[in-house]
Amino acid sequence: MAQYAKNTSVSSELSRLEIEKILIRYGAENFAYATTSGRAMIGFSMFDRQVKFILPLPEKSEFSLTATGRTRTENSQYEAWEQACRQRWRALKLVIQAKLEAVECGISVFEDEFMSNIVLPGGQTVGDFMKPQIEAAYISGKVPALLPQF
């Protein structure tokens, strides 16, 4: 299967900047960015909602060998890792831009497009909150109550 932007030369930093420009163009504000080993986060506010995307990034150690099993030099390993990171940032840009355009032209509504990434008052995203409940519903065959029992 082909991987979007697999051979992009656009830096991760430029993709992040492009994402921010796209978000501004569609009316977002209050931006946040963070990185840690193995992931990056981009957050923003829009339509009175806070939104957070966690971008999984590969570990450099994943690129110690070539596709044929040969050991890479440290420089070659870094370049392969950097390429994989650039690809993921381009893919995130594509996803966010497509969601915003779908909302802008009336194909969808903001909450539907960004529901999984909307941050709830406790800091957890809707997706993080719902995934275990969805799994439990499929295992048990029962839909959980919409509101917790008091």
The DSSP code sequence of 21-53 is HHHHHTT-EEEEEEEETTEEEEEEEETTEEEEE
Q: Is residue 26 part of a domain?
A: yes
Mean pLDDT of 76-80: 94
Rounded CA-CA distance 134/137 in Å is 5
Residue 90 has pLDDT above 70, yes or no: yes
Place of tokens 């509101």: 147
- Residue 3's pLDDT is what? 87
Q: Is residue 40 part of a domain?
A: yes
Q: Is residue 16 part of a domain?
A: yes
Mean pLDDT of 36-54: 96
Residue 76 has pLDDT above 90, yes or no: yes
Q: Is residue 142 part of a domain?
A: no
Mean pLDDT of 24-49: 96
Mean pLDDT of 31-46: 95
Domain count, the chain: 1
Q: Is residue 77 part of a domain?
A: yes
Which residue range is the domain that position 72 belongs to?
A: 12-121
Q: Is residue 126 part of a domain?
A: no
Residue 8 has pLDDT above 60, yes or no: yes
- Residue 34's pLDDT is what? 95
The residues facing 29 across adjacent strands are 45
Q: Is residue 143 part of a domain?
A: no
Q: Is residue 73 part of a domain?
A: yes
Number of H-type helices and E-type strands within the chain: 4, 3
DSSP state of 60: G
Q: What is the mean pLDDT of the chain?
A: 92
